[in-house]
Amino acid sequence: MWCVSLQRRPLHTSWGLMKKLTGKSPAEQRWLQRQLKDPYVKASHAQHFRCRSAFKLLEIDDKFRLLQPGCSVVDCGAAPGAWSQVAVQRVNSGGTDPALPHGTVVGIDLLNIPLLDGAHFLSSHDVTDPVTHAKLLELLPGGRAHVILSDMAPNASGFREMDHEKLVTMCLSLIDMAERVLQPGGSLVCKYWDGILAHKLQEKLSSVFGKVQTLKPNASRKESAERYFLARMYRKAAE
């Protein structure tokens, strides 16, 4: 994933960049140059976020106030952990403010997620696996989450339609997770890549959430097909 690579490649000076560019393919050179210019990359270094994606969640949460102190949050596709950093701060799961209720953050990823105070991580776990759901039930207070976040993405194949369909399938699996752990009235934020199945996904979400809307945060690159659904007011599907 790009943001994981970013962590391993801090870019501080143009001399440093020149050295990094040497021996790189044209695509890698373009990527490095874009990183150097990106204000969100700079801000993520300055604010010690693991990845620029933190700013997408900050923007969503500043507007919709989903992550309140004391809330329980599941972060799907959490590596390297920038969204979890935001969630830990906002729900006070690290207990930074003793006057406020302490929340819970559980992050899940196929990859290793470096440790973070205030978060429980299920590294090397698949969000779609029932074993993961069983572990989640144990980690969440009362087995319930107020919010499910998903910035999950499959490894891009380069075939836009195929990648779109794969990510939609992953998003649909979050509805199964919601059925097991999301409390009534809870919210889900999930990333998708825009395409022909987006409206199907929206319909599915609308069948179990009272309100579903599409978001494109400023921190999401304009040229990217990336979008987020914000689904609120969860109600269980009729049995």
Ligand X SMILES: C[S@@+](CC[C@H](N)C(=O)[O-])C[C@H]1O[C@@H](n2cnc3c(N)ncnc32)[C@H](O)[C@@H]1O
Q: Does 55 bind ligand X (CB under 6 A)?
A: no
Q: Does 109 bind ligand X (CB under 6 A)?
A: yes
CB of 4 to ligand X, least distance (A): 7
Q: Does 127 bind ligand X (CB under 6 A)?
A: yes
At 52, the amino acid letter reads: R
Among the listed residues 24, 135, 166, 191, the single catalytic one is 191
- Report d(CA 85, CA 108) in Å as an integer: 13
Report the run of H or E that residue 229 belongs to, with start and end: strand 226-234
3-state secondary structure 131-175: HHHHHHHHHCHHHCEEEEEECCCCCCCCCHHHHHHHHHHHHHHHH
Cβ atoms of 228 and 214 within 8 Å: the answer is yes
Q: Which of residues 155-194 bind ligand X (CB under 6 A)?
A: 170
| Per-residue mark of binding to ligand X, 207-226 (x: CB under 6 A) | --------------------
Q: Does 90 bind ligand X (CB under 6 A)?
A: no
Binding site for ligand X (CB under 6 A): 1, 3, 50-51, 53-54, 77-83, 108-111, 126-128, 151-154, 170
Residues noted as catalytic: 191
